[in-house]
Chains A and B, each alone.
Chain A
Amino acid sequence: AQSVTQLDSQVPVFEEAPVELRCNYSSSVSVYLFWYVQYPNQGLQLLLKYLSGSTLVKGINGFEAEFNKSQTSFHLRKPSVHISDTAEYFCAVKEGGSEKLVFGKGTKLTVNP
């Protein structure tokens, strides 16, 4: 069965520093991968998704993620963060042949001045 591990529950960084939020998944079949962001007291917003093709995926707000099949990872990166990036980030996986979207437990990113 598919599962998603977000390796860090909290990530504090300083403004303008680079950040990487890590996500690993387990699945024996083809997968589709997603990153969502949730700002305080708001709903889920799609940042980016990998369905097929290039393994480097660019999303909104300057974020990007790279699909690494051999390491079963889909890490999210941003070269320079802003205070406004403070939020909770969720990685999610859908297996081919299943309709279920399975989420990780989330990573809280706090950007400090």
Chain B
Amino acid sequence: DVKVTQSSRYLVKRTGEKVFLECVQDMDHENMFWYRQDPGLGLRLIYFSYDVKMKEKGDIPEGYSVSREKKERFSLILESASTNQTSMYLCASSFVYRDSLGYTFGSGTRLTVV
């Protein structure tokens, strides 16, 4: 099975800190994604990457940046954390193979900014 591993399950950071959320996938998938999940809002796409060093903004990129230096690793960066970035962050990767398509999600990182 494909594994998408998020380095931390819980994080507590202070306002103004620079925060790195790390995600690693082990199946050579081209595409990787960062979502945030908030009650009543579902999952909203922050950024995605379709290749090394390539990225595209999602629906809510403000206050975030990303880095993809290696195919298996996709990092989400909060340049200056704020309390409104307290949320559950989910990483995903996707594949397309012949007529099959799938997305695999990590277990999530619950970030609290105090």
B35 vs chain A, min Cβ distance (A): 8
Q: Are A100 and B42 in contact (CB under 8 A)?
A: no
Q: Are A52 and B99 in contact (CB under 8 A)?
A: yes
- Is A103 on the interface with B (CB-CB < 8 A)? yes
Q: Which chain B residues numbered 67 to 114 have a C-beta less than 8 Å away from chain A?
A: 90, 92, 94, 99-103, 105-108
Q: Are B106 and A43 in contact (CB under 8 A)?
A: yes
Query: 1/0 contact trace for A89-103 toward B, CB 8 Å?
Result: 010101000011111
Grouping DSSP codes into helix (H, G, I), strand (E, B) and loop, the A interface class, with mixed when no group exceeds half, is: strand
B5 vs chain A, min Cβ distance (A): 11
Q: Are A9 and B40 in contact (CB under 8 A)?
A: yes
Q: Which chain A residues numbered 1 to 34 have a C-beta less than 8 Å away from chain B?
A: 6, 9, 32, 34
A51-B40 contact, Cβ under 8 Å, with A100-B45, A101-B33: no
Q: Are B42 and A105 in contact (CB under 8 A)?
A: yes
Q: Are A104 and B42 in contact (CB under 8 A)?
A: yes
Grouping DSSP codes into helix (H, G, I), strand (E, B) and loop, the B interface class, with mixed when no group exceeds half, is: strand
- Per the bound structure, the CA–CA distance linking A90 and B35 in Å amounts to 14
* Residue from B45, B99, B103, B108 in contact with A34 in the complex, judged by beta carbons closer than 8 Å: B103
Instruction: Please indicate the chain B residues that have their CB under 8 angstroms from the CB of A101 in the complex.
Output: 33, 45, 92, 94, 103
- Is B31 on the interface with A (CB-CB < 8 A)? yes
Can you report 13 residue pairs joining A to B where beta carbons are below 8 Å apart?
A34-B103, A43-B90, A44-B90, A44-B105, A90-B42, A92-B43, A100-B45, A101-B45, A101-B103, A103-B35, A103-B44, A105-B41, A105-B42
Which residues from chain B sit less than 8 Å from chain A, CB to CB?
31, 33, 35, 40-45, 48, 50, 58, 90, 92, 94, 99-103, 105-108
Closest 3 CB pairs of A and B: A105-B42, A103-B43, A44-B105
